[in-house]
Structure 1
């Protein structure tokens, strides 16, 4: 009888542990690789990013990560540099999801519409589900000085909105357009209906306040704080990294891979109540409850 009870206990422990393990999702996060085939400028070590990205991909391939998120500025400039980076990310054994950054549009005008396709994006903003989590990718270059070809309707609309609302704000930032905001509300509503926890992936921060913010950060903040299922906002753009907490949301700015001789990326473990960032190189580690 004791042997039977012991076996039952072992089986119960095994299945409980297995169930717990499946509740944990691990992803990898990289920000601002910003590669270019050119000489360093101060701390910006452009050429080194190709080998740093390759090393990160190899480490990710040997980890439990089920996806990789790059949070924008894959290149510093030059459309041809995307090809060099894509040859590295093709070696990834898990899906590689991109966010559009401002430097990703530092290309000739004729290539600007080709940037999302070159990065494998289904569209400039999109969403996807991994386990119990929905990841919502926004495009902060939607309204910008640089994000559209100069002869396009989108560029003309951007210039009109900039002159009306954002003329005194930094040119290297941008904003979300009204159509994208409507889409964001619809996606968050659907995720809430499906009882999915949400992380928003952006190149630009909306909090805490600094010179890197989305132009319409207050408007975006008002949208996401209406949805308690939004647990975090991941972004790059501010190369030093940052962190803040507001209205039940963790705002994490990931450190840039560009300006360090070591590297900077992270593994992020997601569970029902914890977001744990395990930093590699310059990236700081943190454990955040929600």
Structure 2
């Protein structure tokens, strides 16, 4: 075995979550129970970029899982300056970045501004992308880094209050929905009732238009027998995160994933503690990456993922642990045998 050549990955990519940079002294989370390292988050990003630049096999692309800068920048009229600072660092990296939108993107910018910005990766990639309907203002798209593999970026705030004009129908519909579950005057304060905790202003969900588009992308991938990795700021499996970080209609998205044989992995941020669960119905790996913002200055929080025909190997740094994510061997039989969509 010692003389066997090491298997080379088909491709690699980098992933990092919840940088939340701000040129501010350290602070705390909403409940004042966790420390947040606003300035040093930039150094942790530099650490990740240095690792990717020096890697023997350079990543094909980098996924930034959302919350690239902190909402406090808005209060200090520093949103553009903070974003410029972080994107300048990313520009020194070895590959293009696919940006996901989280709640802090919407604390700093409107949806219309984000669609025109450098955080709209569909405007700044050299890859061919399949985007959600343009007239929907949904930031969702798919791309294929190599034949046989597809990545889908989802918009977890397509339904929600953040980034929407209060006069818009989308805002009014979302307000009506959240009020059915959260009677608090401050909608960032959850109702501490199990799964109901997800109905807060800092979460959101997926519209029918986006769900239908997503379903069609996976159907095409099924036909092509591709392997699909899905990416969102918000987690969608209850066992991969705490209820307070789940997407509002996580169950609808989860049922679509479970109905397709192509899906192999779902990656998310938002929950700074991270999390992991392999769904028994279909074998999809649900990985929630630990956040940079709550990582001490002497630590790290990023990963490099090597992709093979039968697995992903995640090399974690600092708080992110190593994982081998094996692909289910015959997922079509698993999907066809499903009789229910209960959470497992």
TM-score, L = length of structure 2: 0.74
2:316 to 250, 267, 279: 279
Name the counterpart of 1:127.
Answer: 142
Check the 8 A contact 1:82/1:118 in 2, yes or no.
no
Name the counterpart of 2:10.
Answer: 24
**1:145-224 maps to which residues of 2 (within 5 A)?**
145-163=161-179, 169-209=199-239, 210=242, 211-224=244-257
Secondary structure, aligned partner of 1:258: helix
Q: CA RMSD in A?
A: 2.2
2:262 to 229, 238, 254: 229
Secondary structure, aligned partner of 1:228: coil
Cα separation, 2, equivalents of 1:143 and 1:31: 21
Cα separation, 1, equivalents of 2:44 and 2:143: 27
Name the counterpart of 2:49.
Answer: 57
Check the 8 A contact 2:97/2:121 in 1, yes or no.
no
Name the counterpart of 2:70.
Answer: 76
Unaligned runs of 5+ in 1: 1-12
Name the counterpart of 2:112.
Answer: 113
1:124 to partner: Cα distance: 1.0
1:159 to partner: Cα distance: 2.5
Name the counterpart of 1:8.
Answer: none
1:163 to partner: Cα distance: 4.0
2:61 to 63, 67, 83: 67
Check the 8 A contact 1:205/1:235 in 2, yes or no.
yes
Unaligned runs of 5+ in 2: 29-34, 74-78, 123-137, 184-195, 328-344
Name the counterpart of 2:24.
Answer: 38
1:150 to partner: Cα distance: 2.7
Check the 8 A contact 2:41/2:292 in 1, yes or no.
yes
1:185 to partner: Cα distance: 0.6
Higher alpha-carbon deviation: 49-58 or 248-257: 49-58
Aligned residues: 272
Cα separation, 2, equivalents of 1:112 and 1:181: 19
1:31 to partner: Cα distance: 0.7
Cα separation, 2, equivalents of 1:234 and 1:59: 21
Cα separation, 2, equivalents of 1:236 and 1:140: 11
Indicate whether 1:250 and 2:285 are aligned.
Answer: yes
Cα separation, 2, equivalents of 1:276 and 1:34: 26
Deviations 1:203-222 (A, max 9, x none): 11111342211110111111
Check the 8 A contact 1:231/1:249 in 2, yes or no.
yes
Deviations 1:125-176 (A, max 9, x none): 1111111210001111111121323333432333244345777622221100
